[in-house]
Amino acid sequence: MKKIVIIGAGFAGLAALSRFYNYNKRQGLEVTLINDKQQFSFLPLIPDCLGRGIATEHLVFDLAALSYKKNFNFIKDKVTALELVKKEVSTSVLTLNYDFLIIASGSETNFYGNAEIEKSAFKLDDAQDAAYLRQALDEKDYDAYLVAGGGYTGVEVATNLRVYLNKRKIHKKIIIVERSSSILGALPEWMKGYVLADFKKIGIEVFTDTSIEKVTGFSHPMLIWAAGVRTSDFIQDLKVEKNSQGRIKTDECLRVNDSCFAAGDAAHFSYKNNFLRMAVQFAIMQGNCAAENIIRALNGKSLMRYKPVDLGLIIPLANNKACGIILGTRIQGYLPVLFHYIMCIYRTYGFKNKLGIIKDLIAGR
């Protein structure tokens, strides 16, 4: 029986699993999923746990229960090393051989080696992080709220904080600190303008060309770190071509080599002289394509090329505003807010979770 190992139970890993599940109804494969947490976390609604009161329990899905239903082995452990030549994956307690591997371990917050900040700052890598952050907001008083990083996550988090504080009539400063010369990186100027105009209205300050090394000048500030991501340590140690974030460069079929594929945030896929941004839609399509290519390889068929389809992107702001580009068309106001939540509810796992999210959005605690 051929052994397939998938590292990471995010969007890419679970999309690959679905493809193998359908194939396995007819053919026998031994599929093993390794994830460092017991649960899948639905990341796009993590900031909404603050401003819209979405319960973190509605953003997780138990992987042991899924493994029973979808007939795969689940190992809850962190992958610490990968030997591409020997075809071996090692975790803290065991080493597994594989015939085919999919690296779908996503990305995690990058503190750039600043241990002091790592100890004191909040991050948003999963639902548990959002629960800690929400609990701290509920239980402690802060004299200012600092968000490091003016990318998608930083922008969403800042507006959610403002909505959270407004509901409790707390009038404190929210400041985004961005290292580069503008927020939202390579996004079009009109989107940056839209977001900045909203920030002005709801009271979010932005400092650009500034990096946080240490926080001083406030007696009890909350610092949320959304200033960059990196790939897992075992990828950093791999001797393969990577980009500056440590994402693995793949070929057009998502191969790292003949028996190893990479998908989602862990993969760097060149497209139209650029690389694909980190997004759920690409992670799902790549997870599916990597699994499809393994099935093709097992059956001696030629592999399919991954052809990205970009449906667009939305920057949702917690005060019921959003801007974005959908199917090449500019969109702003309330409509993209609706699109965003419809897509999130559609993409999340579990009927109970979908219902829970809808109820939480209506209640808006």
Ligand X SMILES: Cc1cc2nc3c(=O)[nH]c(=O)nc-3n(C[C@H](O)[C@H](O)[C@H](O)COP(=O)(O)OP(=O)(O)OC[C@H]3O[C@@H](n4cnc5c(N)ncnc54)[C@H](O)[C@@H]3O)c2cc1C
Using CA atoms, how far residue 50 sits from 279, 296, 343, 361, in Å, is 21, 44, 20, 12
Complex with ligand X: residue 218 or 326, whichever CB lies closer: 326
Does 79 sit near ligand X (CB under 6 A)? yes
| 104 neighbors 287 (Cβ within 8 angstroms) | yes
Name the closest residue to ligand X (Cβ): 10
Stretch near ligand X under the rule CB under 6 A, chosen from 35-43, 82-90, 161-169, 298-306: 35-43
Complex with ligand X: residue 61 or 199, whichever CB lies closer: 61
Q: Classify residue 240 by burial, with Cβ atoms within 10 Å: 0-12, 13-18, 19+.
A: middle
Does 36 sit near ligand X (CB under 6 A)? yes
Does 17 sit near ligand X (CB under 6 A)? no
Does 46 sit near ligand X (CB under 6 A)? yes
Query: Which residues in the 256-285 window bind ligand X by CB under 6 A?
Result: 264-266, 278-281, 283
Residue 278 is classified by DSSP as: P
| 308 neighbors 288 (Cβ within 8 angstroms) | no
Q: Can you say whether the dihedral through the CA atoms of 134, 187, 215, 319 is positive or negative?
A: negative
Does 37 sit near ligand X (CB under 6 A)? yes
Residue 199 backbone phi and psi in degrees, to 5: -60, -40
Q: Shortest approach of ligand X to residue 302 CB, angstroms?
A: 26
Tokens encoding 51: 């401003």
Query: Which residues in the 218-257 window bind ligand X by CB under 6 A?
Result: 232, 234
Query: Which residues in the 297-356 window bind ligand X by CB under 6 A?
Result: none
Q: How many other CB atoms are found less than 10 A from the CB of residue 185?
A: 12
Please, where are the H alpha helices in 90-242? 115-120, 127-139, 152-167, 189-202, 233-236
Computed over its alpha carbons, how large is the radius of gyration of the chain? Answer: 21
The string of DSSP letters for 283-314 reads HHHHHHHHHHHHHHHHTTPPPPPP-----EEE
Residue partners of 116: CB distance under 8 A and separation at least 6: 214
Q: Shortest approach of ligand X to residue 184 CB, angstroms?
A: 13
Complex with ligand X: residue 29 or 104, whichever CB lies closer: 104
Q: Shortest approach of ligand X to residue 349 CB, angstroms?
A: 12
Does 6 sit near ligand X (CB under 6 A)? no
Q: Shortest approach of ligand X to residue 4 CB, angstroms?
A: 15
Q: Shortest approach of ligand X to residue 243 CB, angstroms?
A: 14
Stretch near ligand X under the rule CB under 6 A, chosen from 32-40, 81-89, 141-149, 299-307: 32-40
Complex with ligand X: residue 44 or 150, whichever CB lies closer: 44
Q: Which of 44, 149, 151, 336 binds ligand X (CB under 6 A)?
A: 44
Complex with ligand X: residue 67 or 232, whichever CB lies closer: 232
Q: Which of 29, 34, 161, 163 binds ligand X (CB under 6 A)?
A: 34
| Cross-strand bridge partners of residue 100 | 4
What's the full length of the chain, in residues? 365
Contacts with ligand X, residue ranges (CB under 6 A): 7-13, 34-37, 43-44, 46-47, 78-79, 104-106, 124, 153, 232, 234, 264-266, 278-281, 283
